[in-house]
């Protein structure tokens, strides 16, 4: 099994955040979450952007080394 690197962590962060935002939207459509929905959606979006930034940073760093 390979070692964990920052790219893997970024991919897991993006994937799990997208899944979490989908679950939040589904519960919002069902009417379960009312007061916390905007905060949770904003947090999920921030996590997706952070994960994508980490992936782009590592990709750019690897391309400069080559």
Predicted confidence band of residue 3 (pLDDT cuts 50, 70, 90)? confident
**17-26: average pLDDT:** 93
Residue 42 has pLDDT above 70, yes or no: yes
Is the pLDDT score of 16 beyond 90? yes
Query: Are 10 and 58 within 8 A, CB to CB?
Result: yes
Inter-residue contact 48 to 18 (CB < 8 Å)? yes
Mean pLDDT of the region 9-38: 89
pTM of the model: 0.80
By the 10 Å C-beta count (0-12 exposed, 13-18 middle, 19+ buried), 65 is classed as exposed
pLDDT band at 2 (very low <50, low <70, confident <90, very high): low
């Amino acid at each position: 099994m390979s070692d964990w690197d920052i790219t893997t962590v970024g991919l897991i962060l993006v994937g799990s955040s997208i899944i979490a935002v989908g679950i939040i939207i589904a519960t919002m459509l069902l009417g379960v979450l009312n007061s916390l929905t905007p905060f949770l959606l904003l947090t999920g979006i921030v996590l997706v952007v952070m994960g994508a930034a980490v992936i782009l940073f590592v990709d750019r760093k690897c391309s400069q080394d080559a």
